[in-house]
Amino acid sequence: MKGYIVLENGEVFTGKIIGGNESGTYGEAVFFTGMTGYQEVATDPSYRGQIVIFTYPLIGNYGIQDYTSQSEEWQANALVIGECSEEGYHYLSKKSVMNEANNMNVPIIVDVDTRALVKCLREQGAMGAVITTDLDGIDWSNYQPVDEYPFVKEVSTKQIETYGAGETHIALYDFGHKRAMIQELTQLGAKVSVVPFDTPYETIQHLDVDGVLFSNGPGNPKQLEHELHIYRKVASAYPTFAICLGHQLLALAFGADTKKLKFGHRGANQPVLEIATQKVDMTAQNHGFVVDDETIGHSEMQVTHVNINDGSIEGLKHEELPLFTVQYHPEASPGPKDSHPLFHQFFASIEKKKEVTIHA
Amino acid sequence: MPKQQHLRKILVLGSGPIVIGQAAEFDYAGTQACLALKEEGCEVVLLNNNPATVMTDEQCADRVYFEPLTVEVLTKIIEKERPDGLLASVGGQTGLNLALAAYNEGIFEQYNVQLLGTSMQSIQQGEDRELFRALMHDINEPVPESEIVSTVDEAVQFANVVGFPIIVRPAYTLGGAGGGHAYSKEQLKEIVAGGLAASPITQCLIEQSIAGFKEIEYEVMRDDNDTCITICNMENIDPVGVHTGDSIVVAPSQTLSDHDYQMLRSASIKVIRALGIVGGCNIQFALDPSSNQYYLIEVNPRVSRSSALASKATGYPIARIAAKLGVGYHLHELKNPVTAHTYASFEPALDYVIVKFPRWPFDKFKDGNRELGTQMKATGEVMAIERNLQAGLQKAVRSLEIPVDGLKVASIEAIATDELIQRIEIADDQRFFTLLELLRRNVTIDTLHEQTGIDHFYLQHFKRLIELEQSAESLEFEGVDRDTLYELKKSGFTDVALAKALNTTEQNITQLRERYDLYPSYQQVDTCAGEFMAETPYYYSTWGTKGDHHLTEKPSVLIVGSGPIRIGQGIEFDYCSVSAAHSLKRMGYETIMINNNPETVSTDYETADKLYFEPLTAEDVIHVAKRENVQGVLLQLGGQTGVKLTEALEKAGIPLYGATFDVIDQLEDRGRFYELMQTLDIPHIPGTTGMNAADTEMKASEIGYPVLLRPSYVIGGEGMAIFTSEAELKAYLNDSLNEVAYPILIDRYVAGKELEVDVVTDGEQCFIPGIFEHVEKAGVHSGDSMAVTPPYSIPDSLKETIVSYTTKIAKHVTFVGLFNIQFVYENNTLYVIEINPRASRTVPIFAKITNIDLVDCAVQLLLGKPFEACVPSVGLLEEPSFYSVKAPVFSTEKLPDVDMLLSAEMKSTGETLSFGSTVEEAFQQAFAWKDDQTPKIYTEKSGSIFVDAGDAQQSLIRTDLEKLEQSGFTIVQGSSEQFNEWITTEDARLYVSIPDLGSKHYKDQREKAKRNRIQLTTHSETLHALVQGIDFKERHSLSLDEWQKKDLQRT
């Protein structure tokens, strides 16, 4: 059906809508520049509340596969695609993207001039958008901006879930984690307890964990301002690693501030420089907010990694504690696995702590 | 880390003449590298004997040696120039092998020369199969079951264990030359024997075949600090089994999930780290289509054809960045020149799809074996950029400039379905079109997949093309609405193709399209999928988008490039296009390049102000010309590709520089051409035009045998042939394989001395930079003959006649710019054979020898400057004191079944340029252009030479044979049985195979000589030149400017 994606600034792009409902689908329009990984993107809870535009024009070629989704549901509100393959051509393909979108009740708009759309967002910044067949029926009060709406509460686990049976016990604060994180941890020999975003320190103590991972998640970290004191306490007590939203939360908890990027980093080719080694990793990223580098001086954190393109903060470590955080996704899925060694680094910091404890 | 300051002077090795497997991509890489080094303040010295290249221009290198690519010469140059560093990774396999040989002889150590970029040890580890396999085992990366063999017996033993099919890959050869798939013991023996002979280290890798796997390539870069990035991955539509150079390739991969993609990316980075590459590297994988099992097939530790493709596909300039890494930089210290805002340490994101399609030479080599395998056969390639795969494929097909009617090939349509189904089992150059035809006949995708192994994804896209084609055919022109036309245009159908499908005229379609306001938009190739603003105006067309296009205020000129490299239209026209861009820039114009060859310098976005990566059909060119509102279009530099467009562009009202269609017709149409010659009182060879087979036979008899037949409007002598009798002619015309197109030109064949000139004219005065005298007589295509300037055997009076005829023609024909005249001289008469109203193969050569930028002169004249202001002198330039020899280079070992007998149809793929104080010296240098090509009669003092010569030839070669005997060689003549015996002997040095005119005698012997890599000579004049060079042994290596200085001192 002929339809439109309309931006908050009034720009209208035409296409064909598959799925969706009459009242339109609203969300923050963001674009993803990776050329593969549409299934992981669609199911990544960090995309909650967003309409994802794929810059690569041919999507769906290898279908929808088992063990690839990053969560149970499709998380993005809608997808915007140049051309969507009617079938999946891959030995692991179980169904087509279109079928799955239909099952998940997520609309897709195809045959869109995605490049013009991306250029618009690049120039004017991420903004609200609606996918609709009815240009006259648009009502922006239906739009829940990610800055204001508490999406983390929606996507975080409601009770503690445990994966794996390894020796090292890790608590994963769930703000909307990706399954790949659990896979990485369990493969390295961990037992992982996924805990709700507002789990108190005492619960963590009771779980008797060896380390804590703060996960990724959707939205503005400042929405969780009331929980920061917990995160600070937990991160001060255990070897800690934090990714994406988790990184922003710990920066806030230890005295830095965060701000919104104009249009965010979403893709598989963000170059990150490790200051100590001067080596560059290609990283998978998906974030609209960032730690404000001007506020680091007042915090307890130090910058370890920066983005080559815009100089923004990509990694922090605590001055004293075994605590380090990254803005990007070492679990990839989708994207390059260059920074996979960070998980080893996390395990090493846990081992070190254990040794110290034993000797003490 | 910034540049290493001690690297002040760098010696760069070029790749030499174009051969199959090593084409213009190394001119692109070399040019980028030279410019990058100069940017860093290095003095650049270049060794490359290919005169048609941009890199051998003075803007690129401070000093150029057109000298043989031998260790001996390289050592002399190093000794003389004392470079601090040497760059070998942009010279293809030729450059790398030469550096390796010199390294092994201790030359680097002796003269304290640092190899830039990847270390020699790493290169050897990547190139030597055994070392590479051992390394892969160490890092736990899978490689197929295989073994290195140096004898045929070892290969047979391996086969007994692993079974067939088996792939044979000779070590250190171009384009996999000498390799192949063996399905039986007999085949294996034959291929391995040939492969061992082809390999400079007498090694072959034989491996269990993984044919049918997906073939995936990654272009990877690494800096000295161990930062690694992948620039691009590519997927071959043809599964493993067809050489990647012969495969249709898309970028990025289409059928890989993120898991697959990252698995192979991680493996690539692991491999490049293990090898310790500094710079660029190409890594090829085979991936099981039904599991995640993969194998590493090959690693090229240098820039390659694929890296050129990846550079053009993404905008990321691999060779340029690799050169900078070679002098010490790290990736994140270098800017990404496309965006100018971001850095070189990132991985390009594409928001379009790339299709690369090979260009094969089988239009020329009708007898050639068209089957594709591990040995590359394509001479060139085209690239298309689009937003969808259907349109990308269509753009690629029309960029090839092959006789295709839309997507249909007439000769395939005539074949029965069963036969076609059988035919696609083994890939050949026509398989894509055969698949389309089978889809037209409703053969299922499953059947096609079973026969070819091509992924369903691609077959489904092929099928969609046929559905669209058939839907168009089912429509009435009157009923076509806007949406329908838009869908068809979006899928890549041209106005011409739609006119055919809808049974109307092209004009009607164009008018309808314009009424519906349907025009292409132009989008930027920006390396980042729109994420960042990019400065570089590198565009491709698509339909139905807003586009990124910006018009500029400056007056602009469009340069039409020359498309894919093919026999007859090579890199020389790219040189001309690039020179024109430079010239126009200097004059203050905005320069716009349109071309589709990913290998070339012209399609480097830094060459012109704007680059359009587009097919070169009239519709595509007109769209760009109108969109840019150009002041005019330059057609005479892109070979026949440009000239062919004259009529259509003129009709569309596009302003053109240079010849009008009427002038071109005056030169091409026999009747009008003879009229012109008669008006000017210039002798021409009697000839006429045949309208059909019967007419041609009749007219040939009237002219008298021997006759020369040639189609009009072709270059490279396509379909050109000499006939000594009516019976021969009849047989030729009636053989459908020959696809004779009428009207066809029929000339009396005059076996005289051929001469040619290039001319710069304003229509009044003219400038002739020199005269080339051909060594072989008329009848050998000018592209295949050796040629010498200044002429070495003609009287001054003849030169005066040449100048006088040339001046007359220039004055009379309404033409400005560059043109080329070919003459033949016989019995004291000088005839004009043809006039080409365009730049020619010899323009770059004259430009280099004379140090006069001929293209610049022509462009200035075309843009209206007065002759005195831009041309150095009038008439023939004073002859230099040294001789220059242009010699053809053939890729025949790549093309079994192609007869090496030189004839009217061109066969060579490249050429060399050599200099000498005497013509004998220059000949010697021409024949000994590379270590493994140096004639045995130059390096050995004894041995035997087998001679087969026609009756009329015996007397012509007698003196030369005597000279060879005096030099210690034995002359053997005898039966074909004796030949078979001789060819296997250790002391076989040379095979002289000279049949009489029109005869193709001794074809089998030539084929055997080729397979056994015995030097072959097929004309008495070539033999004479070869023998003349025999006495010459020692000389100094002089750079081009030293030759020129020596010349100045004389005058």
pTM above 0.90, yes or no: yes
**Cβ neighbours of B86 (radius 10 Å):** 25
Of B254, B353, B529, the CB nearest to A33: B529
Give me the number of domains chain A comprises.
2
Please, which residues bridge with residue B817 across strands?
A: B761
Ranking A305-319, B6-20, B328-342, B349-363 by mean pLDDT, the lowest is: B328-342
pLDDT of B162 reads: 83
Sorting pLDDT into bands at 50, 70 and 90, what band is B715? low
pLDDT per residue as tens digits for the range B648-666: 999 999 999 989 999 999 9
Is B255 in contact with A336 (Cβ distance < 8 A)?
no
Q: Which of A119, A142, A165 is the last residue of a domain?
A: A142
pLDDT at B374 over 80: yes
Domains contained in chain B, number: 7
Burial (Cβ within 10 Å: 0-12, 13-18, ≥19) of residue B921: buried
- Is residue B432 located within the same domain as residue B496? yes
Could you write out the DSSP letters of every residue in A8-48? TTS-EEEEEEES--TT-EEEEEEEE--SS-HHHHHT-GGGB
Q: Percent of chain B having pLDDT more than 90?
A: 81
Judge if A297 and A226 occupy the same domain: yes
**In terms of domains, do A30 and A100 share one?**
yes
pLDDT tens readout for residues A298-357: 999 999 999 999 999 999 999 999 999 999 999 999 999 999 999 999 999 999 988 877
pLDDT of residue A359: 66
Which domain, by its residues, includes B584? 553-657
Q: Are residues A155 and A290 in the same domain?
A: yes
pLDDT above 80 (res B387):
yes
Q: How many Å separate Cα B797 from the centre of its chain? A: 38
- Same domain for A137 and A170, yes or no, is no
- Whether B177 has a pLDDT exceeding 90, the answer reads no
Which chain B residue has the Cα nearest residue A112? B545
**Residues in chain A closer than 8 A to B261 (CB atoms):** 35-36
* Sign of the alpha-carbon dihedral angle for A230, A232, A234, A240: positive
Q: Does A278 touch chain B (CB under 8 A)?
A: yes
Where is average pLDDT lowest: B15-29, B250-264, B889-903? B889-903
- Evaluate whether residue B918 is within a structural domain: no
Burial group, residue B508, by CB count within 10 angstroms (0-12, 13-18, 19+): middle
Enumerate the residues of chain A whose CB falls inside 8 A of the CB of residue B532: 122, 309
pLDDT above 70 (res B577):
yes
Closest CA to A98 of A18, A4, A1: A18
Describe chain A by its helix, strand, coil percentages, rounded to 5: 30, 35, 40
CATH number at B860 reads 3.30.470.20
Categorize the per-residue pLDDT at B765 as very low, low, confident or very high, splitting at 50, 70 and 90: very high
The answer to whether B614 and B540 have CB atoms below 8 angstroms apart is yes
- Same-domain pairing of B826 and B867: yes
Q: Helix or strand or coil: residue B723?
A: strand
Chain A residues in contact with B255 (beta carbon < 8 A): 61-62, 89-90
A14 pLDDT exceeds 70? yes
Judgement on whether residues B854 and B991 belong to the same structural domain of the protein: no
Which helix (H) or strand (E) element contains residue A270? strand A258-274
- Chain A contact for B944, CB < 8 A? no
Name B550's Cβ contacts closer than 8 Å, sequence gap at least 6.
B537
- Checking if the pLDDT of B716 tops 60, the result is no
Residue B540 has pLDDT above 80, yes or no: yes
Provide the pLDDT for residue B1008: 87
Element of type H or E holding B969: strand B969-972
Whether residue A286 is annotated as binding a ligand: the answer is yes
Helices (H), B92-180: 92-104, 107-111, 120-127, 129-138, 152-162
pLDDT at B1 over 70: no
- Convert the pLDDT of each residue in B914-923 to its tens digit: 999 999 999 9
Q: Which chain A residue shows the shortest CA-CA distance from B291? A: A91
B566 occurs within a structural domain: yes
Same domain, B869 and B951: no
SS3 B3: coil
Under an 8 A CB cutoff, do B257 and A57 touch?
A: no
27-46 in chain A: CB under 8 A from chain B: 31, 33-37, 39-40
Please check the confidence at residue B128 and state whether its pLDDT lies above 90.
no
Cβ distance B290 to A278 less than 8 Å, yes or no, reads no
Please report residues of B whose CB lies closer than 8 A to that of A34: 258, 349
Residues of B in contact with A336 (CB under 8 A): 262, 265-266, 347
- Range B149-157 average pLDDT: 93
Cβ of B258 within 8 Å of Cβ of A280? The answer is no
Q: Please check whether residue B293 touches A, CB under 8 A.
A: no
Supply the pLDDT for residue B1032.
Answer: 77
Residue B671 has what DSSP assignment?
H
Are B254 and A91 an interchain contact pair (Cβ–Cβ within 8 Å)?
Answer: no
Same domain, residue pair B650 and B729:
no
Is the confidence at residue A37, as pLDDT, over 90?
yes
Among residues B660, B663, B690, the alpha carbon closest in space to that of B676 is found at: B663
Catalytically annotated residues of A: 244, 329, 331
Q: Tell whether A49 lies on the interface with B, counting CB pairs under 8 A.
A: no
State yes or no: pLDDT of B714 exceeds 60: no
Indicate whether B733 belongs to any domain: yes
The CA distance from A196 to the nearest CA of chain B, in Å, is: 29
- Co-location of A227 and A325 in the same domain: yes
Do A196 and A133 fall into the same domain? no
Annotated binding-site residue? A249: no
One domain, residues B366 and B441: yes
Residue B106 and residue B166 in one domain: no
Residue B687 reports pLDDT greater than 90: no
Q: Which domain CATH number covers B21? A: 3.40.50.20
Same domain flag for A122 and A155:
no
| B671 and B799 together in one domain | yes
Q: What is the mean pLDDT of chain B?
A: 93
For chain A, positions 113-142, list CB contacts with chain B under 8 A: 113-116, 118-119, 122
CATH number of the domain where residue B947 is located? 3.40.50.1380
Tokens coding B449: 């997949």
| Final residue before a domain boundary, out of A82, A108, A142 | A142
Distances (CA, A) of B575 to A197, B758, B910: 65, 15, 14
Kindly report, residue by residue over A79-96, the tens digit of the pLDDT: 999 999 999 999 999 999
CA end-to-end span of chain A: 69
Quickly list H helices, chain A.
38-42, 97-104, 114-124, 151-155, 179-187, 201-207, 228-237, 245-253, 341-359
Mean pLDDT of B953-960: 96
A89 interface with B at CB cutoff 8 Å: yes
Q: Do A90 and B255 touch (CB under 8 A)?
A: yes
Q: Same domain for B872 and B768? A: yes
pLDDT greater than 60 at residue A107 = yes
Look at B290 and A85 and tell me if their CB atoms are within 8 Å. no
Amino acid (1-letter code) at residue B768: I
Instruction: Please enumerate, by residue number, every residue of B annotated as part of a binding site for Mn(2+).
Output: 284, 298, 300, 822, 834, 836
Say if residue B54 is in the same domain as residue B18. yes
Specify the pLDDT at position B173.
Answer: 66
Indicate the annotated binding residues of B for ATP.
129, 169, 175-176, 208, 210, 215, 241-243, 284, 298, 710, 748, 750, 754, 779-782, 822, 834
Chain B hits for A273, CB-CB cut-off 8 Å, are 332, 345
CB B893 within 8 A of CB B1010: yes
- Please indicate if any CB of chain B lies within 8 Å of the CB of A95: no
| CATH (domain of B201) | 3.30.1490.20
Q: Are residues B498 and B397 in the same domain?
A: yes
State mean pLDDT over B901-908: 92
Task: Kindly report the nearest CA distance between residue A37 and chain B, in angstroms.
Answer: 5
A335 at interface of B, judged by CB pairs closer than 8 A: yes
Residue A67 is part of a domain; what is its CATH number?
3.50.30.20
- Residue A203, domain CATH: 3.40.50.880
In this predicted structure, what is the pLDDT of residue B601? 97
B349 and A68 within 8 Å at the Cβ level: the answer is no
In the listed set B518, B545, B576, which residue is the last one of a domain according to the structure?
B518
Cα(B388)–Cα(A60) distance, rounded to whole angstroms? 13
* Residue A23: predicted pLDDT: 81
The span from the CA of A255 to the CA of B535, in Å, is 39
Contacts of A332 in chain B (CB under 8 A): 262
- Mean pLDDT computed over B74-78: 98
Q: Does B529 touch chain A (CB under 8 A)?
A: yes
Q: What is the DSSP letter of B428?
A: B
C-beta atoms of A58 and B352 within 8 A:
no
Same domain, B163 and B50: no
| Pick from A57, A65, A273: CB nearest B332 | A273
Helices within B16-91 (DSSP H only)? 25-39, 71-81
Tens digits of residue pLDDT in B291-334: 999 999 999 999 999 999 999 999 999 999 999 999 999 999 99
| Backbone phi, psi, residue B523, to 5° | -115, 155
Same domain? For A161 and A259 the reply is: yes
Whether A248 and A172 map to the same domain: the answer is: yes
Nearest CB to B345 within list A40, A122, A271 = A271
pLDDT digits (tens, 9 = 90+) for B621-632: 999 999 999 999
Quickly state the pLDDT bin for B573 (edges 50, 70, 90).
very high
pLDDT grade, residue B578 (50/70/90)?
A: very high
Q: Tell which residue, B649, B670, B653, has the closest CA to residue B661.
A: B649
pLDDT of residue B36: 96
Q: How many residues does chain A have?
A: 360
Interface subset of B 347-406, CB within 8 angstroms of A: 347-353, 387-389
**CB distance A56–B350 less than 8 Å?**
yes
Q: Is B538 a domain residue?
A: no
In B, which residues are within 8 Å of A57 by CB distance?
351-353, 387-388
Nearest Cα to Cα of residue A304 among A331, A284, A324:
A324
- Would you place residue A158 in the very low, low, confident or very high pLDDT band (cuts 50, 70, 90)? very high
Q: Measured between beta carbons, which residues in chain B are less than 8 angstroms from residue A118?
A: 351, 529-531
A113 to chain B, closest Cα gap in Å: 5
pLDDT value for B368: 84
Mean pLDDT over B735-756 rounds to 86
Q: Any binding-site annotation on A267?
A: no
Instruction: Give residue A69's domain range.
Output: 2-142
Give the per-residue pLDDT at B1025.
Answer: 97
Residues 6+ apart with CB under 8 A from A116: A13, B545, B546
Q: In this complex, do A57 and B331 lie within 8 Å of one another by their Cβ atoms?
A: no
Q: Which site among B254, B268, B351 would you substitute to test the A interface, given the most A Cβ atoms closer than 10 Å to its Cβ?
A: B351
Q: Taking residues A170-179, report their average pLDDT.
A: 98
Which residue in the set B256, B456, B544 is minimally distant from A36, CB to CB?
B256
Say whether B531 and A31 touch across the interface (CB within 8 A). Answer: yes
A313, A296 contact by CB (below 8 A): yes
Same domain, A203 and A249: yes
Given a cut of 70, whether residue B364 has pLDDT beyond it is yes
* Confidence band of B997 (pLDDT split at 50, 70, 90): confident
Which residue, B584, B705, B588, B571, is CA-closest to B26? B571
Domain-ending residue, one of A93, A118, A142: A142
Amino acid identity at B378: A
Enumerate the known binding-site residues of B for Mg(2+): 284, 298, 300, 822, 834, 836
Longest dimension (CA), chain A: 71
Domain check: are A177 and A119 in the same one? no
Residue owning tokens 């023996």: B189
* Same domain, residue pair A292 and A204: yes
Who has greater pLDDT, B513 or B144?
A: B513
Is the pLDDT at B954 greater than 90? The verdict is yes
For residue B225, which residues of chain A lie inside 8 Å, CB to CB? 277-279
Between chain A and chain B, how many beta carbons pairs sit less than 8 Å apart?
151
Q: Per residue in A55-64, pLDDT tens? A: 999 999 999 9
Residue in chain B lying closest to A54 (CA)? B351
* Cβ–Cβ < 8 Å for A158, A175: no
Predicted confidence at residue A68, as pLDDT, reads 96
